[in-house]
């Protein structure tokens, strides 16, 4: 148990796929009663099976549950809630809508929180910059600029690439296991970095507990970095079947986006097809430096296919 962390109060924003992995890992490493979680109103009384299960798990871990509507709540109300916490770790994603990550960050700074892990569990927004075609990426870049413009609150950004499972989401349209199709975004040589939520939860906890303390840094982690051509080969090997390979060029994606400019998944495809900022070498990651094993795409896919049998 880390004694230093036992003197702190940590608030996790969100109890979804990533939030729960961060909570499980933190709760197993630090003093009981240290971790709280922020969820939407009605979460603990919902009839939704996932929310019922999570509520039970949070109770068994001794995690305090707080309710707040991130979509409707004001920055001032949020800052007032944050004031009693020394560390805030944001795991809410983009579900609360445009502008939410900026509002949360401004509330953290207004509250004078000692340390902040923003929702940056994604790509290298410094390299991506603005104008990628994905408006939420623009906001993420602006959040970084906001954090760097001040010195009162320490921040730690954990860059993870996309969730490994997202490669296999039918709506994303990269790997379609049902039809045996793999689509390359940009080209077959374009690369992408991915990490599972389980590994992100573990690594975020390690980074939080790291001594000497990590301050005002972007830390890169990775479960795997691979090209879309390598991905197609892995799918063929794991399924034992040849896949249909479809390359989606930037020009083709631009044309599709011009016909459906509000299609969120098309925006994501276009952004990832650019390649820049979407990947980094595994040899340069925190987990590699620390000798921490992570789940690569091949292992994830084999496990996924076993679970489906």
Query: Peptide bond before 199: cis, by omega within 30 degrees of 0?
Result: no
Domain extent at residue 151: 3-162+195-223+277-295
pLDDT score, position 54: 97
Give the single-character DSSP code of 213: P
What tokens appear for 21 in the block?
């992995």
pLDDT score, position 159: 98
CATH of the domain at 121: 3.40.50.720
| Domain-located, residue 238 | no
Give the number of other Cβ atoms within 10 Å of residue 97's Cβ. Answer: 11
Q: How far apart are CA 51 and CA 53, in angstroms?
A: 5
b/e 11-42 (16+ beta carbons within 10 angstroms → b): bbbbbebbbbbbbbbbbebbeeebbbbbbbee
Calculate ∠ Cα 204-207-211, nearest 5°: 160
How do residues 36-64 score in pLDDT, each as one tens digit? 999 999 999 999 999 999 999 999 999 99
Average pLDDT over residues 256-270: 92
| Domain-located, residue 117 | yes
How many distinct structural domains can be found in the chain? 1
Which pLDDT band, with edges at 50, 70 and 90, does 7 fall under? low
b/e 64-88 (16+ beta carbons within 10 angstroms → b): eeeeeebeebebeebbebbeebebb
| Domain-located, residue 200 | yes
| Domain-located, residue 146 | yes
pLDDT score, position 309: 77
| In the chain, % of residues over pLDDT 90 | 89
Predicted TM-score (pTM) of this structure: 0.95
Q: How far apart are CA 139 and CA 135, in angstroms?
A: 7
């Amino acid at each position: 148990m880390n004694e230093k962390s036992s003197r702190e109060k940590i608030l996790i924003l969100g109890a979804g796929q990533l939030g729960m992995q961060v909570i499980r890992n933190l709760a197993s490493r630090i003093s009981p009663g240290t971790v709280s979680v922020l969820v939407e109103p009605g979460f603990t009384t919902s009839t939704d099976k996932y929310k019922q299960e999570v509520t039970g798990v949070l109770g068994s871990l001794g995690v305090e549950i707080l309710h707040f509507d991130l979509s409707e709540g004001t920055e001032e109300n949020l800052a007032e809630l944050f004031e009693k916490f020394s560390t805030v770790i944001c795991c809410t994603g983009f579900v609360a809508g445009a502008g939410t990550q900026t509002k949360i960050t401004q509330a953290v700074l207004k509250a004078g929180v000692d340390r902040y892990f923003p929702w940056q569990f994604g790509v290298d927004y410094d390299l991506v910059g603005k104008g990628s075609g994905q408006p939420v990426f623009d906001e993420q870049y602006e959040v970084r600029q906001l954090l760097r413009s001040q010195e009162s609150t320490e921040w730690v950004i954990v860059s993870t690439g996309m969730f490994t499972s997202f490669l296999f989401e039918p709506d994303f349209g990269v790997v379609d296991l049902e039809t045996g199709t793999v689509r390359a975004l940009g080209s077959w040589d374009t690369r992408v970095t991915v990490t599972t939520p389980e590994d992100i939860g573990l690594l975020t906890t390690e980074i939080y507990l790291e001594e000497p303390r990590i301050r005002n840094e972007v830390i890169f982690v990775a479960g795997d970095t691979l090209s879309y051509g390598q991905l197609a080969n892995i799918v063929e090997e794991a399924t034992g079947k040849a896949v249909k390979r479809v390359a989606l060029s930037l020009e083709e994606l631009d044309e599709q986006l011009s016909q459906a400019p509000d299609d969120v998944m098309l925006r994501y495809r276009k952004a990832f097809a650019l390649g820049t900022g979407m990947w980094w070498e595994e040899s340069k990651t925190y987990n590699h430096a620390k000798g921490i094993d992570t789940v690569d795409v091949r292992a994830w896919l084999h496990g996924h296919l076993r679970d489906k049998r």
